Structure 1
Amino acid sequence: MIVSNQMPMYVQSFTQNYVELLNKHLPSDLIEGVYIYGSIALGAFDEVKSDIDFIVLLSSAVNEQELSILQDIHVQMNKHAFGKRMDGLYIQASMIGKTNEELPAYPYCTDGIVEVGYWDVNHITWWILKKHGITLQGIPIGELNIPTKWDDVLETMEYNINQYWFSKSKKTYLFLSDSMVEFATCTISRIVCSLELRAILSKDEAVRLCVDMLPKRWHLLLKEGFRIRKKANTKSLYKSKLKRARDCRDFILYTHQLCNENFFIRGVSNGN
């Protein structure tokens, strides 16, 4: 296995065991490459809560026997504390750069369980792999010729802001939940900063930058989201959960307008 300085040693040991199991139990000509993306690749892995995001490229679609082997491998990996935090997919190398809308159903792992269907594969997935990914085994990422461009990433972020998050703004009650406050503030901060800097950042870095970039009106909410993310057992910065939920809704509406006015301009190319 290729060793990367980007990964903590305890993660390297875990992923090495994973690669060894793949090589031991699957046909030698099936696996073309094993790669890490996500928080590890972005240098923001949190030992307590971060997922281990991976992509395994295959020479062909897996058959029923090979699928059963993958499921058994993850049962073994689940004996480790990180096992149930493995999130990833097994797809054919010929499908590099494609999103769920273009892909046939494929094996994927979430919470340590392997199923066949569709996981979180979009242009942001491929962009992070292209620009920051770590090769554990196989063809170096730079030689994969991942076709994803920044315009593709922009399209995904536009969907996230204008469809996914805008629809959530109509359901203020969702943000009475700590987890939804964290999810909204950290994810939207990441989108805003990534659009501004034309680079995908970790959520932690994005929230810190947004406190500097955005008006003071949003600082309390951003710090609250970061508090939940890092020190969930500490006292809330808000006296009222309802006030916090309304602030979260208003933050979504504010960033919706901000992004559409500054970044989502139809017909204007944003480069590669």
Structure 2
Amino acid sequence: MESEEIMMLPAAVDKTMKQLVHSLNTRTSNIVSIYLYGSVALQDYIEGSSDIDFIAFVREPLTKSDIQAIAEAHEELEAQIPNTGLMGTYLLLDDLANIRNEINAQLTYFDKQTNTQGKGADLNPITWWILKNQGIRFYGSEITFNYELDVASLCQYVIHNLNSYWVGWITRLEDTLQLVLAQEQDINIEKLDQAIEWCTLGMLRQLYTLKEHDITSKIGAGFYSTHHVPGKWHGLIEEAIAIKRLQPNRLYQSQTERLTDLIDLLKFIHVEANRV
């Protein structure tokens, strides 16, 4: 079955997914459908910066021969189109009825490797929300996502994520700043760029969801925040957007000031999110 042209996909995404479908179809008949979610579904994919996130639904539990076939398909894809940023989960179709319970991935493709232990599985309320509301069917039969996912459950997941994963980032950044100031060390600019893009836009997405009861992309959250975050941090947010877009725009001269402002912004987002 050919890919469904629901919307014009970025060329890199279309090429990658067509190759994946071809590589899978020559090796297994167990694939029911493949859906795209993440930045592609949110129409904010940036080649070289964004991942291509997919869920492949399978008819039957994967056998050893299925797993081998899928692994070979991904190896072929990587050989044909290197460094695609492809990340995905192979999920039993019948398990869609159990999203409120823990669902075990049949197989994942993460960090250029297939994994039977669920490494990199992205099965959480945010994924289910995007899949149901904006997911793109690239291949196979149309699936009716008739599971219920209420706003309260979505927000509960987001606030827990903020108060665990993202608080951990704030703590590590504070430790880095203290070490830099105490030992007068230079800050690794490339690593700081990565932290600014990942943490700023990542946490702003959480704040957007809690305020608007919806999900947006990282870039969308960045632009949204310029109307909801004090102006003193707008320059840092602009830098985060530029880094995500692989653009060279930088506003800060002092890396220590950048790191200090990043920590202060993340603390503000954390407090504001819990207040909401």
TM-score w.r.t. length of structure 2:
0.85
SS at match of 1:109: strand
2:181 is matched with which residue? none
What residue identity is the alignment partner of 2:261?
D
SS at match of 2:43: coil
SS at match of 1:238: coil
1:69 is matched with which residue? 69
Q: CA deviation at 1:230?
A: 2.2
Gaps of 5+ in 2: 178-186
Residue deviations 1:229-254 (CA, integer Å, cap 9, x gap): 2245x363222222222222222221
Q: Does 1:210 align with 2:225?
A: yes
Contact 1:35/1:54 (CA < 8 Å) preserved in 2?
yes
Structure 2 distance, partners of 1:134, 1:6, is: 11
Q: CA deviation at 1:167?
A: 2.4
Q: Does 1:252 align with 2:266?
A: yes
SS at match of 2:227: helix
Structure 2 distance, partners of 1:148, 1:210, is: 25
1:233-244 residue pairs with structure 2 within 5 A?
A: 234=248, 236-244=250-258
Contact 1:40/1:52 (CA < 8 Å) preserved in 2?
yes
Structure 2 distance, partners of 1:99, 1:87, is: 20
Residue deviations 1:27-81 (CA, integer Å, cap 9, x gap): x3x2222111111111111122211110011122211111111110001111244
1:15 is matched with which residue? 17
Structure 2 distance, partners of 1:120, 1:74, is: 18
Let me know the Cα RMSD of the aligned residues: 2.3
Aligned-residue identity in percent? 26
Contact 2:125/2:157 (CA < 8 Å) preserved in 1?
yes
What residue identity is the alignment partner of 1:32?
V
Contact 2:57/2:91 (CA < 8 Å) preserved in 1?
yes
Structure 1 distance, partners of 2:232, 2:270, is: 16
Contact 1:84/1:111 (CA < 8 Å) preserved in 2?
no
Q: Does 1:95 align with 2:109?
A: no
Q: Does 1:186 align with 2:201?
A: yes
Contact 1:90/1:106 (CA < 8 Å) preserved in 2?
yes
Contact 1:127/1:149 (CA < 8 Å) preserved in 2?
no
Greater alpha carbon shift after TM alignment, 37-46 vs 79-88: 79-88
1:4-43 residue pairs with structure 2 within 5 A?
A: 4-26=6-28, 28=29, 30-43=30-43
Contact 1:89/1:108 (CA < 8 Å) preserved in 2?
yes
Q: CA deviation at 1:140?
A: 2.1
Q: Is the alpha carbon distance of 1:242 and 1:9 closer, same or farther for their aligned partners in structure 2, counting shifts above 3 Å? A: closer
Q: Is the alpha carbon distance of 1:88 and 1:70 closer, same or farther for their aligned partners in structure 2, counting shifts above 3 Å? A: same
Q: Is the alpha carbon distance of 1:228 and 1:12 closer, same or farther for their aligned partners in structure 2, counting shifts above 3 Å? A: closer
1:265 is matched with which residue? none
What residue identity is the alignment partner of 2:110?
T
Structure 1 distance, partners of 2:163, 2:14, is: 38
Q: Does 1:113 align with 2:127?
A: no
1:81-92 residue pairs with structure 2 within 5 A?
A: 81=81, 84-92=84-92
What residue identity is the alignment partner of 1:190?
R
What residue identity is the alignment partner of 1:224?
E
Structure 2 distance, partners of 1:259, 1:97, is: 31
Q: Is the alpha carbon distance of 1:43 and 1:210 closer, same or farther for their aligned partners in structure 2, counting shifts above 3 Å? A: same
Residue deviations 1:208-242 (CA, integer Å, cap 9, x gap): 1111221112212211212222245x363222222
TM-score w.r.t. length of structure 1:
0.86
Structure 2 distance, partners of 1:152, 1:74, is: 34
Structure 1 distance, partners of 2:60, 2:148, is: 20
